[in-house]
Chain A
Amino acid sequence: MTLKTFLHRLGSPPYFYQISKPWGRAFAWIGLGLILVGLYGGLWLAPPDYQQGNGFRIMYVHVPSAWMSLFVFMVIAVASFIGLVWRMRLADAVAAASAPLGAAFTAVALVTGSLWGKPMWGTYWVWDARLTSELILFFLYLGIITLNRSFEDQKTGDKAAAILALIGAIDVPIVHYSVDWWQTLHQGSSFKGLTSEIAPSMLWPLLVMMAGFMFYYAWLVLWRTRSEILLREMDREWAQRVVEP
């Protein structure tokens, strides 16, 4: 099977439903393994920071969550575009499945950032560009979830949520570059392209945690997409067949 044929078939809800389950299980185990290794490296092996002491270890949950909050929004924006332009049902399902996960990652980024900010800055919250734009991202996620579930007709809900996602995508580069564009209390980017100023002994657990979060998201988005597909195809014979006890 060529890649083109595979992608074409992947767009078919019954085919996606059939092949996604084993992939999801594999992603779950890989994600769990990576997160455990990352936690061991980040909480035990990595040396304390010379300025922040052991407080810097919050980075191992904060940075992967913040990074995923942006990544998931881009997934939603791309899926929304595909759903709007090519009316691909699977893309609508992926966007709907991703939104609650993205909101959760954003909530974790905000709360852990706040817990990191208190001992470092002396305050849990400050209305600087990075924190404010991340909070706006959280509200955008809530808006997408609400719009998606607010209409009797699911297609209308998908369309409304997709439009908000495409407009809201402008917040993603604002969040990312806010520390470069404005004077913020939040520290600058730890990564400049593929290079980082973080010491290797502190960096590797962070990269492992980020990979673990990515696999965790991949597992859950496949699981949730399968449910969204069932809800969108409930009148189809194949969907009724797969829920048979």
Chain B
Amino acid sequence: MTSWHEFVTMGRFGLFVWPAFGFGLIVMLLNIYWARLREKTARREVRQARQAEEESPQ
């Protein structure tokens, strides 16, 4: 790259290059969010299973 203008416009390919990297970034961030969500679900279900065990008559 020789200038910021060339970097931003990517020659005449900016309309394709930046959406490609943007989509990649969004999916990578969503993967992190989904992993966090899955962990929360798992922890909640384990806690519920434990609660059910404690409440069930022996």
Contact = CB atoms under 8 A, between A and B. Distances in A.
Interface in A4-47: 39, 43-45
A108 B10 contact: no
Contacts of A55: 10-11, 13, 16-17
A215 B13 CA distance: 29
Contacts of A43: 1, 7, 21
A119 interface: yes
Contact of A227 (B7, B41, B53): B41
Interface string A209-228: 00000001000100110111
Interface residues of B, number: 32
Nearest to A114: B20
Contact of A231 (B20, B24, B35, B42): B42
A33 to B, nearest CB: 15
Given A61-B21, A240-B46, A220 B35 contact: yes
Contacts of A150: none
Interface string B26-42: 01101110110011011
A243 B38 CA distance: 14
Contact of B20 (A101, A116, A228): A116
Specify the main secondary structure of chain A where it touches its partner: helix
**Interface class of chain B by DSSP:** helix
A112 B24 contact: yes
Contact of A216 (B20, B28, B30): B28
Nearest to A56: B13
A245 B38 CA distance: 17
B20 A58 contact: yes
A115 interface: yes
Nearest to B1: A44
A198 interface: no
A243 B43 contact: yes
Interface string B11-25: 111001101110110
Nearest to A118: B16
B4 to A, nearest CB: 10
Contacts of B17: 54-55, 57-58, 115
Contacts of A234: 42, 45-46, 49
Given A108-B24, A220-B32, A227-B35, 4 more contacts: A54-B10, A55-B11, A108-B27, A119-B12
16 contacts: A54-B6, A57-B17, A61-B21, A62-B20, A65-B24, A104-B30, A111-B20, A115-B23, A119-B13, A220-B35, A227-B41, A228-B42, A230-B39, A230-B43, A231-B46, A234-B45
Across the A-B interface, give the 8 residue pairs with the lowest CB-CB distance, nearest first: A55-B13, A230-B42, A227-B42, A54-B10, A112-B20, A61-B24, A54-B11, A240-B50
